[in-house]
Amino acid sequence: MQKLSLGIALTALAGSVHAADMGAVDEPIKLAINEWTGQHITTHVAGEMLKAAGYKVEYATAGMMNQFQAIADGDIHATLEIWSSNVSDEYAKKIAEGNVVEIGDLGLDAKEGIAYPAHVAELCPGLPAWEALKECAQNFATAETIPNGRLVDYPADWGTPGADRMTGLELPFKAVPAGSEGALIAELRASTDRKSPLLITFWQPHWAMSAYDVKFVDLPAGEEACFNDPAWGPNPNAINDCDFSPTRIFKAGWVGMQDKWPAAYEILSNYALSVEAQQPMMGEIDVDGGSVEDVVAKWMADNEGSWRPVVDAATK
């Protein structure tokens, strides 16, 4: 999807939405809260839209990789920022069983990859070409990884995409999972302050991409064959010897939601969010120390003309 302001995206969609029954307004709609700031923003914006429509909303903490059983059971009713490059097999299983349904794209223009702060190119000549990492891995070594270099991977609950690529490309790095998104940011901050080497699995949109001048390693294109056919790519004996596949970010919900809360289902189906809307809010929270609730509330107040049309079209 093109990078649009939330207002443009929602207003364009509003014309195709028709008023629906409100449904069980006395029962709360439970939205999943996963482990990263952008997802918190995405979810709270959606929650505030539902509240504006007249619904009760609760936020339920749920691991990104294991939330789909709770959604299938109807204990959580929607999750609003699923990254296709890092979704669990459980999602496909629940979709096939018919207990979870997809409810449209979120619209974020996203990328994931193996990354480094810009100064690291001086410590590893040849970057951003991935082959350069073969020659300078020792510069990234720590006590826990010697003789290999250290790659700071996603938290364990998010999967092992960095480790998978180190194995696939036969790069002499040991992947060490970060404890949280905050731990990933701390690594970027420390590396930038000290001008020390760092290889990290990271993504955009994220305020840290610009704050720490983060660059992506150029890996072989992430084509479907890379993940299924060892003969594809530079390593004929392994899969995952390539970049992340192009990332799609989408929403999903409990199959019973449309019948129980028809208008809410309409709102969430037509809800979209852009990088330009989300990323500044991320900075206000992670850099400036604002709370998710306060930052989102201010954004909602300042941008009512952007989100209100979808709420009104679904309820009036």
Q: Does domain 111-227 have CATH number 3.60.150.10?
A: no
Q: Choose among 115, 136, 85: nearest CA to 178.
A: 115
CB 47 within 8 A of CB 53: no
Write the CB contacts of 96 (distance below 8 Å, at least 6 apart in sequence): none
Mean pLDDT per block of 10 residues along the chain (316 residues) reads 40 51 96 94 98 98 91 98 88 96 94 96 97 97 97 94 98 97 95 98 90 95 95 96 93 98 97 90 92 98 94 94
Q: What pLDDT, on the 0 to 100 scale, is given for residue 18?
A: 55
Q: What pLDDT, on the 0 to 100 scale, is given for residue 244?
A: 93
Q: Choose among 256, 272, 265: nearest CA to 314.
A: 265
- Which amino acid is located at 28 in the chain? P
DSSP the chain: -----HHHHHHHHHTT--------TTSPEEEEE-SSHHHHHHHHHHHHHHHHHT--EEEEE--TTT-HHHHHTTSS-EEEEEEGGG--HHHHHHHHHTSEEEEEE-----EEEEEEEGGGGGTSTTTTBTTHHHHHGGGG--TTTTTSEEEEE--GGG--HHHHHHHHTT-SEEEEE-SSHHHHHHHHHHHHHHT---EEEEEES-THHHHTTEEE-B-S---GGGGT-TTSSS-TT-S--S-PPPP-EEEEEETTHHHHSHHHHHHHHH----HHHHHHHHHHHHTT---HHHHHHHHHHHTHHHHHHHHHHHH-
Go through the chain and tell me how many residues it has: 316
Domain with CATH 3.40.190.100 in the chain: 111-227
Q: What pLDDT, on the 0 to 100 scale, is given for residue 87?
A: 86
Domain with CATH 3.40.190.10 in the chain: 6-109+247-315
**CA–CA separation, 121 vs 75, rounded Å?**
47
Residue the block writes with tokens 């409100």: 22
Question: Selecting from 3.40.50.300, 2.40.160.40, 3.40.190.10, 3.20.20.140, what CATH number does the domain 6-109+247-315 have?
Answer: 3.40.190.10
Cα dihedral across residues 285, 291, 292, 295: positive or negative: negative
